[in-house]
Amino acid sequence: MEHSLSEDDTFEQLKYIVKIDKYGVKRYYDDHMQLHREDGPAVVSPMGYKAWYIHGALQRREGEDTDLSFIAFTKLSKKS
């Protein structure tokens, strides 16, 4: 299935490494594959979870799924 990218999405992919897993969780990485995004959350799930990271360091998180089980899921599925 081919996806067309908006101009903003294309810019994001040039600025960051962006991966979307099979659950629809979008993650932004820096050149060292650490979660990183300067202008928004580095982890965004379709369920409303958002987490802000700067070079791998968690800055804050919000959303329905901010319990520890989702954090563990995020770390485990990062390898996908």
Q: Using one digit for the tens of pLDDT, what is the confidence trace for 64-80? A: 544 444 444 444 444 44
pLDDT at 25: 93
Residue 1 is assigned to a structural domain of this protein: no
Residue 66 placed within a domain: yes
Model pLDDT for residues 25-59, shown as the tens digit of each residue: 999 999 999 999 998 999 999 988 899 999 999 98
27 assigned to some structural domain: yes
Looking at the DSSP assignment, which residues form a beta bridge with residue 28? 18
- Inside any domain, residue 60: yes
Q: Which domain holds residue 70?
A: 7-77
**Domain contains 2:** no
* Number of structural domains in the chain: 1
Domain assignment present for residue 16? The answer is yes
Where residue 1 falls among pLDDT bands split at 50, 70, 90?
A: very low
Phi, psi angles (nearest 5°) of residue 73:
-60, -45
Place of tokens 């485990």: 76
3-state helix, strand, coil in the chain (%, to 5): 25, 30, 50
